[in-house]
Structure 1
Amino acid sequence: MTFDVDSFVSSGKHAAAVIPVLIAFGYAFLRAGSAFPLLARAWRLVAGTSPISNERIAAYLRDQRDLSSFQFHSGLRPHSLRQTTQLIDWSDANDVSIERISKCGAYFDLRSLMINEAVLPSKGRTRLAGVATLVLLASTGGLLYGAAMMKYAYLSFRDDGRHFAIADDGARTLRWTLPALPAYGPALDKARCDTLSAGAAAAGFSVEQTSVLCKALGTPELDKMATENLRAQRLFVLFLAALVVGLFWSCGAWVNKTRAARTLSEELRERRSTNSGAGLATTADPT
């Protein structure tokens, strides 16, 4: 049986076209904090757009649609329309935008409409997290650079398990130094193998290893194995880089939320001290 490569490639292209749609649905679900908009649209596709006769049910569905819309656009998670309107009223009364409140994350309590300083990290912890964020960013750059510049494939001998590195310039002995950096010996290439006498060792390899490498260098089998290993090594490094990017994003978002909450807390506290009669709700005092 043969495979139709053109049909396979065409099917892969059609499957790849679905990925952005799935990403859009996933983003809408996470942003809105509810599957209600997606389920409501699916229901309209199945049952049509006929009006709901029961007014209480219709009102509930309208409220849920409005609540999900607010959650999607603001990034906040009020539990009801009443809590939503209270939040909007507080935003207008204190001249603080909904977007700025959203940047505070969970540090802004939607029930009491205050920034809860009891759970707000100290400035020292925030600075330390900021330094960690920069370290993660530098690590990401280092991993990506390492993946791009990687030219040695790491293989091992079947008999003794000793590792060695191989590239276009030949095979080299390999040893690891701290912090997990490879150190390479001199190269053993095909030209040098042709000058060696029988039973000779070269480039830090034993007699048996030198003999095996000299027979394998330049063969399609070794070239294929080296290419596959090099590709796998790069994919592994890229996977590590993706993990570090996730940590960087999470740590950076935490730092930004903490700083936004602290800045808003200090600003509202200053307003309250200068205009105590305005009755501004600022921060919850730590207990």
Structure 2
Amino acid sequence: MIVLSQVINGLILGTIYILMALGLSLIRGTMGILNFAHGVLFTLGAYFTVKVAMLTNFWVGIIIGPIFVGFVGMFIQRFFMRRLQGKHELFGLLLTFGMAYIIEDIVKIIWGVGGQPFNIPQSLGGFVNLGFLIYPTYRLFILGVTVLLLLALYIFLNKTKAGLIIKAGSKDLTMVSLLGIPVQKVFTLVFGLGTMLAAPMWGVQPTMGNKILIPCFVVICLGGMGSLIGAVVGGLIIGVAVSLAILIQPFFSDLIIYVIMATVLLVRPRGLFGEVGEAYE
């Protein structure tokens, strides 16, 4: 039962990795920028969600938090990232790297260096009897919400005009621009959407974003750059592997991530689902 419980914990952790990795991949695919500030935006979203929930209620917090982070992402793109268009990718990397430290310090100044608890509503407290396992209701809620978000993102990218433009831009941005599509608005939308996927729903620490950022980069490499299916599979593999490794020895949870990535990349250098020119299939 302990192993089964850890597998479910791994699936939940995996879905969080997936959402974060998809946000990173969207930004990287369309803008050519490796966003090192993504992790700290995850932290910012968490703190804002907690504070809104404390002032109002849980349900308002988990809705407003991601929207707030999305607007922060749009602001960053509009006033900072746009100035780097056409420049070497290294400039974007350095800018987001610096922003990560600035935003993290702002979070510490506003909310302190200690963690913040997130009080869940009574309706999500307690446990659910799954027949083969008794499991916390709130964790199942997180799993359900993240799965719904993944389905919504898939529908958005494949069934809406804006989503199809983003997919096209990730393959050939020049052609999209020649068709008269406002590329800067696409960039703003993508950066906002990508950062919006970084807002979580539980207790927080100022440095939590840095701890989750590297595993998300690993998920992208493992699944294949630009592959939606690859991010899903990679996230689930890493999530379950980390949870099971904790049963053996807690420090194995960090080691197993890189062992899996190295093994897969030795066999498939582009990742499990990565192919030349593939993007969000």
TM superposition score category, shorter chain reference: under 0.3
Bigger proportion of residues as helix: 2
TM-score by length of 1: 0.22
If the length of structure 2 is used for normalisation, what is the TM-score? 0.23
The structure with the larger Rg is 1
- Tell me which protein shows more strand as a share of its residues: 1
1 or 2 for the larger relative contact order (CA 8 Å, sep ≥6)? 2
